[in-house]
Chains A and B, each alone.
Chain A
Amino acid sequence: MIEFRNVSHGPLRDISFTLQKQERAILFGPSGTGKSTLLFLFNRLKDPEEGEIFYNGKPLTDVPIIELRQKFGLLLQSPNLFPGTVLDNLKYGPSLTNSWRPGREKELLEYVQLSPEMKDRDVDHLSGGQQQRVSLARTLANEPEVLLLDEPTSALDDKTGEDIETVLKELIEQQGLTMVMVTHQMAQARRLGTNGLFMNEGTIEEHGKIPEMLEQPQSKALKEYLQG
């Protein structure tokens, strides 16, 4: 489905891997190794300095960029909601392509386990966890095929983080989404991911099935990372 071929950008060097449809990949590794940069290459918030990325066999650059970004939904560490109501935020993406269907907010809020009455609430009056749920619902409003998650629970307290994680897990399983998630929490990686990409010093040091990688790490760097 998605193939990185010898991609380099900033800290990333010669990255090659393939991601299959409905795969749930976890990007993990020490800070500063380019995990977020790698995530931004999927939806062309950044372009490779070298190498190429293919989506369903076509170079990523051949897909119209707006269409591509709507197919690859991104959820960042902070909710980054726009000023206004919950509904304003939910409508944002679809309205850009005139594809918002009135009443859809009910279904979106249901996905993230928020009550439909919240649609008229000012986003400034929501808790951190509620804001992150609205942010996730806003991403889902574009009906993405792939979810790119950049440490989506790291800015939240443990309990709220776990709630968001549950919502994510159910959504991904129900809707058969492909997922790429950056996380530092190995328990979360185990619960949400199928495959892992361990990154170290800008390269993919090790990859494979998540449970095996965590239980029987091969490389010295991954062993040290898991111990540390």
Chain B
Amino acid sequence: MSPEISNQSLWFLIIFVVIPLSVSYFYQLGLSRNVIVASLRGTVQLFAIGYILTYLFDLNAYIGIPLMVTVMLVVASFHARKKGKELPYVLPVIFGGLVLVEVSVLAMWLLFGMVEFIPSEVIPMSGMVIGNSMVAMGLALERMKSEFSENRGRLLAALSLGAEPKQASTLIVQRTLNAALIPNVDRIKTIGLVQLPGMMTGLILGGVEPIMAIKYQLVISLSIFSSVSLSAMFVTLIMYRHFFTENKQLLESEEAMLAYASNQEK
């Protein structure tokens, strides 16, 4: 294996972009623009972060880590918010959830000596935890919105039978968490059998002993497993309440939810 990927070799990665582009063109999927933008954006972002990380890793841990983790939390919050931007208070809820998850996971890592408090360890691992939690929160929000709209009749029936909003929403909360957590459970089930996870692969390619790479992978995989569950649960259990008024009435639409929330603030 070559010790370093040359810049010339990298140019050939274009082939990997041409394949999905051709599929999109051939089947008229209308994804060509997205494929090009995503590939270019991803490349630029990765190179930029490469340079930034080199700089951050040289900084004092007490400056570099909070700085980069804050940036990650803010960017992830705004990204996850897109999946439920019509819902009231969604941004602070997502941000709060991500902070909670990151702080808990980081505390565990440090407390039990799994990770050292140095930028080169904490930043990439936090990135993986925050990124996966962001996806889970987005999935949960999207699923919750569709469950609420599909089960409107059932919710009205439950409320009219005397259920509290929490009782009426039990099914929706279960289905939402299921949808958000199943990919995570499947990933853990097949880990090492179907795919060698990214972090472990990276460490092995970088020359680390496989057993050591596996230890790191275990730490990150189980951290992600737990943080994804926690973040999906956090966003679901807080956000479902906003579908109801304080008089246990179901709000008709996302516009009605926003109007109700702004009236409550007055």
Q: Say yes or no: A47-B157 contact (C-beta < 8 A), given A82-B171, A83-B171, A96-B163.
A: no
A82 touches B154 (CB 8 A): yes
Summed over the interface, the residue pairs from A and B with CB atoms below 8 Å come to a total of 61
Contact of B161 among A44, A46, A138 (CB under 8 A): A138
A66→B70 CA distance, assembly (Å): 45
A65 touches B161 (CB 8 A): no
Query: Does A45 sit at the interface, judged by CB under 8 A?
Result: yes
Contact of A139 among B153, B161, B249 (CB under 8 A): B161
A142 touches B162 (CB 8 A): yes
B249 touches A44 (CB 8 A): yes
B158 touches A45 (CB 8 A): no
Residues of A within 8 A of B158 (CB): 82, 92
The number of chain B residues touching the other chain, given as a range, is 10 to 19
Residues of A within 8 A of B248 (CB): 44, 65-66
Q: Nearest Cβ in chain A — how far from B264, in angstroms?
A: 14
A163→B171 CA distance, assembly (Å): 31
B247 touches A47 (CB 8 A): yes
B157 touches A45 (CB 8 A): no
Query: Does A178 sit at the interface, judged by CB under 8 A?
Result: no
Considering only CB atoms, which chain A residue lies closest to B160 in the complex? A74
B161 touches A69 (CB 8 A): yes
Query: Does A153 sit at the interface, judged by CB under 8 A?
Result: no
Query: Does B167 sit at the interface, judged by CB under 8 A?
Result: yes
Q: Which residues 210-226 of B have a CB within 8 angstroms of A?
A: none
A135 touches B162 (CB 8 A): no
B161 touches A80 (CB 8 A): no
Query: Does A19 sit at the interface, judged by CB under 8 A?
Result: no
Between B161, B164, B247, the greatest number of chain A beta carbons within 10 A of the residue's beta carbon is seen for: B161
B162 touches A97 (CB 8 A): yes
A44 touches B167 (CB 8 A): no
A96→B158 CA distance, assembly (Å): 10
Q: Which residues 54-99 of B have a CB within 8 angstroms of A?
A: none
A80 touches B157 (CB 8 A): yes
A73→B163 CA distance, assembly (Å): 13
Contact of A69 among B153, B162, B171, B250 (CB under 8 A): B162
Q: Nearest Cβ in chain B — how far from A66, in angstroms?
A: 5
Residues of A within 8 A of B153 (CB): 76, 78, 80
Residues of B within 8 A of A73 (CB): 160
A70 touches B162 (CB 8 A): yes
B249 touches A92 (CB 8 A): no
Residues of B within 8 A of A203 (CB): none
Q: Which residues 37-86 of A have a CB within 8 angstroms of B?
A: 43-47, 65-67, 69-70, 72-74, 76, 78, 80-83
Q: Which residues 76-121 of A have a CB within 8 angstroms of B?
A: 76, 78, 80-83, 92-93, 96-97
Q: Nearest Cβ in chain B — how far from A179, in angstroms?
A: 15
Query: Does B159 sit at the interface, judged by CB under 8 A?
Result: yes
Q: Nearest Cβ in chain A — how far from B251, in angstroms?
A: 10
A82→B159 CA distance, assembly (Å): 12
B249 touches A45 (CB 8 A): yes
A96 touches B161 (CB 8 A): yes
Residues of B within 8 A of A148 (CB): 160
Residues of A within 8 A of B171 (CB): 82-83
Chain B 131-146 against A: per-residue CB contact (8 Å), 1 yes, 0 no?
0000000000000000
A66 touches B162 (CB 8 A): yes
Residues of B within 8 A of A43 (CB): 160
29 contacts between A and B (CB under 8 A): A43-B160, A44-B247, A45-B160, A45-B250, A46-B249, A47-B249, A65-B248, A66-B164, A67-B162, A69-B160, A69-B161, A70-B161, A74-B156, A74-B157, A74-B160, A76-B156, A76-B157, A80-B156, A81-B154, A82-B154, A82-B157, A83-B171, A92-B161, A93-B161, A93-B162, A96-B163, A96-B167, A138-B157, A139-B161
Contacts A65-B248, A81-B154, A83-B171 supplied; 18 other A-B pairs, CB < 8 Å:
A44-B247, A44-B249, A46-B249, A47-B249, A65-B247, A66-B164, A67-B162, A70-B161, A70-B162, A74-B160, A76-B153, A76-B156, A82-B171, A93-B162, A96-B162, A96-B163, A96-B167, A142-B162
